[in-house]
Amino acid sequence: MEKDAAKPQPPLVTQESETWSVSRASVEDDSHDVGHPPQLTRTVSSGPPYSIFTSRAKLFIVMAVSVSGLISPFGAVTFYPVLNVLARDLHVTPSLINLSLTTYMIAQAIAPSIIAGMSDNSGRRLSFIICFIIYIGANIGLALQTDYAALLVLRMVQATGCSAAIALSNAVVADVATSAERGKYMGYATSGLLFGPAFGPTIGGLLAQYLGWRAVFWFLVIFTGVLLVIFVILFPETCRNVVGNGSIPAKGVNLSLLGYLQQRRHARENESIHADQASFKLNRKRKVTFPNPLAVARIIIQKESGIILLYNGLFFTSMMITTASLPHLLFTTYGLDTLDIGLCYIALGCGSLASTLTMGHVVDWNFRRHARRLNYVITKGRQQDLRDFPIEVVRCEIVIPGHIIGTLATLAFGWTIDFATPLAGPEIAIFFLGFGVSTVFNLTNTLLLDLHRDTPATATAAVNFVRCLMTAAGAAFIIPLCNAITPGWAFTLLTGVYALSISGCFLIMKKGQQWRTEAAAKKEKEAEKVAAAAQADLEAQVESDRRLHEVDGNEDHGEELEKMSSADKK
């Protein structure tokens, strides 16, 4: 250690960290008493950390992307209170206005597959800025439009701008947080998506009631404009393909204004940041590559990822179905007005908040518990090798309680509405629904990031694709179903579907690690084939160059002999 400390090290890269591990023998041996505790082994690592960002910097980054995630649900749910007013002002039926909700969800499902791929190659900052600009432009158009066709088109553009924010938020967490601490940060990052449906209708109802429906879209313009300024000035680039662990200086649009000023100050003070020679290869001049949407399809068709995506989307739909049906059910059952209905969504947000503040820490604790049991060394700030670690079990053990809570809450919500209990009944139900759905959604997203560490934005885009399509379908049939068989039996039917879907979670726990190992082996074989083909092409090129050189040499030798013969004749 003293020898290593004597060497000049990059100031931003080198950090020492302590690792404590419990030997397997001491865990399995029950013969020791209080005087002989399990043996702890301490190791000190001085290699580069997974991320150079401090805990405070990580918290700022994650909270920034969490707030940016609000624009996606805000774009959808703040629209709910103005549906009837828009139908009247645009001289169309409410059914046609509801069609804009469907087109919005379809666009929201497709757009992230394009933008997320770009962010994995060209950086998160550029993708965030593009999304914000598109979203601002669409909302300005929506605030000024007076035509139904313009409404449909601009709503799709609006969805394109906001939908990728969720994929980018989760990708940023994968950039800065290791698997051992990812549960906590994922809870913070996705809170925007989950709080939006709770508070968006209240904001939309207040604005529509006192300032008119156009004020809803002007509010979104102002909100997103503030986000754009914050991201341009303060938000650092985190994409590991661009800045590595954060120690490689960003350039161009990947560099924030604050980062630019810091670099100029360092230059004036003749300070330099030393990085590995290999690290500078990442900082080569980058082109904005056109993303491949088929990358999302490849994730969807994988065995393990496909089951997780289906389970995640199905369970998240339960919350969105409740959100979509709440205005109709509360109005017909309790006679509440628009503002009171909007206030009823707050219970959903409080349940999501409770999950965010607790379950992320619980899943990180579960990670450490399994690591101790398996004698698996956890180094603070270093990414763990998960090849032989049961990460599926670690995540799903916490998913199951959340699933049970959310399923029972769905059942309770339907029957409290059916029996017209005091309003506290459905409010308590949607609180626990928010808690359960948030837990399941956050942890299954975290598991997907563990499985696709190299392309986190693309993996989250796959989540968004499946989630939005299932939500669009669920929101379309829930009210007709409630009218046909009563809310109690409608939500009982949904509860049965969710009860069956938990089998996917148990299947992942049982087979997930095996499937992951098989997929990794297949990927390695494909990489070996590509490398072998490249090596064969290189050898063929070398042989071709050698032969060409020999031919050129023979021709030069022949010309020299002819010159010598001509000289002799003269």
Say yes or no to pLDDT of 410 above 80: yes
| Continuous segment of H or E residues that includes residue 471 | helix 456-569
Say yes or no to pLDDT of 339 above 50: yes
Q: How far apart are CA 339 and CA 419, in angstroms?
A: 23
In angstroms, the Cα distances linking 326 to 203, 419, 462, 492 are: 16, 15, 28, 16
Yes or no: say if 237 and 366 are a contact pair by the CB < 8 Å rule. Answer: no
Yes or no: say if 128 and 235 are a contact pair by the CB < 8 Å rule. Answer: yes
The residue among 135, 134, 130, 158 whose CA lies nearest residue 232 is 130
Predicted confidence (pLDDT) per residue in 173-228, tens digit: 888 888 888 878 887 887 777 777 778 878 888 888 888 889 999 999 999 999 99
Q: How far apart are CA 245 and CA 257, in angstroms?
A: 20
Q: Is 340 exposed, middle or buried (0-12, 13-18, 19+ CB in 10 A)?
A: middle
Fill in the amino acid letter for 269.
E
Predicted confidence (pLDDT) per residue in 364-385, tens digit: 898 889 888 888 777 676 776 7
Yes or no: say if 406 and 498 are a contact pair by the CB < 8 Å rule. Answer: yes
| Whole-number pLDDT of residue 27 | 38
Q: Within its chain, how far is the Cα of 104 from the centroid?
A: 20
Q: Which of 296-310, 476-490, 523-537 has the lowest mean pLDDT?
A: 523-537
Q: How far apart are CA 491 and CA 426, in angstroms?
A: 12
In the chain, pLDDT over 90 holds for what percent of residues? 19
Domains and CATH numbers, the chain: 55-524 (1.20.1250.20)
pLDDT greater at residue 54 or residue 548: 54
Tokens of 198: 């709770």
Q: How far apart are CA 208 and CA 79, in angstroms?
A: 10
Predicted confidence (pLDDT) per residue in 89-122, tens digit: 888 876 677 777 778 878 887 877 777 777 877 8
Residue 36 has a CB neighbour count (10 Å cut-off) of 10
| Whole-number pLDDT of residue 537 | 76
Name the pTM for this structure: 0.71
For helices 303-334 and 424-451, what crossing angle results, to 10°?
160
Residue 266 has a CB neighbour count (10 Å cut-off) of 13
Q: Is 334 exposed, middle or buried (0-12, 13-18, 19+ CB in 10 A)?
A: middle
| Whole-number pLDDT of residue 436 | 92
